[in-house]
Amino acid sequence: MSEEHQSTVRFVQDGAVGTVTLDSPPLNLIGQQLISDLLAAFDQVDAAQGLRALVLQGEGNVFSAGADVEIFAGMSVAQLRPLIGSFIDLGHRIERLAFPTLAAVHGPAWPAALSSHCFAT
């Protein structure tokens, strides 16, 4: 029996406004799964009709406390490169959107999380 994947990111469209929510509380740590789910959410954003703005937010009391260092600590440089590349690609996707993106940052927001906020300006 295979385990069904529960996404760590949600996309919801309400009229002309879309919302992408990091949904891995309590800290919404950035790791392989969250980046993969963010890329999938942005596939939905790209396919959405009529969007004129996008909000990027975190579920719970924290936007994102940054990278999940436990995952990254055991990775080699060769393993980290594709993961970092995916995160950079995500930033470029946000920059290329044809409408404004707002990062609704609340609580702690550490370097990797803040990078996604900086793309959303």
Any domain includes 43: yes
- Give the predicted TM-score (pTM) of the model: 0.84
* Residue 15 falls inside a structural domain: yes
Residues 6+ apart with CB under 8 A from 61: 25, 26, 106, 107
| HSE toward the beta carbon, residue 29, CA cutoff 13 A | 9
For β-strands 101-104 and 17-22, DSSP reports them as: unpaired
Number of domains comprising the chain: 1
Q: Is the pLDDT of residue 85 over 70?
A: yes
Instruction: List pLDDT tens digits, range 37-53.
Output: 999 999 999 999 999 99
Tell me what the pLDDT averaged over the chain comes to.
Answer: 86
Between 119 and 59, residue with greater pLDDT = 59
Tell me whether residue 115 is in a domain.
yes
Residue 116 has pLDDT above 80, yes or no: no
Given pLDDT bands bounded at 50, 70 and 90, which one contains residue 115?
A: low
Q: Within 10 Å of residue 21's Cβ, how many Cβ atoms? A: 19
In a domain, 3, yes or no: no
Residue 99 lies in domain? 9-119
CATH classification at residue 102: 3.90.226.10
Checking if the pLDDT of 18 tops 90, the result is yes
- Alpha-carbon span 94 to 73, nearest angstrom: 27
Residue 1 lies in a domain: no
In a domain, 4, yes or no: no
Between CA 20 and CA 110 the distance in angstroms is 18
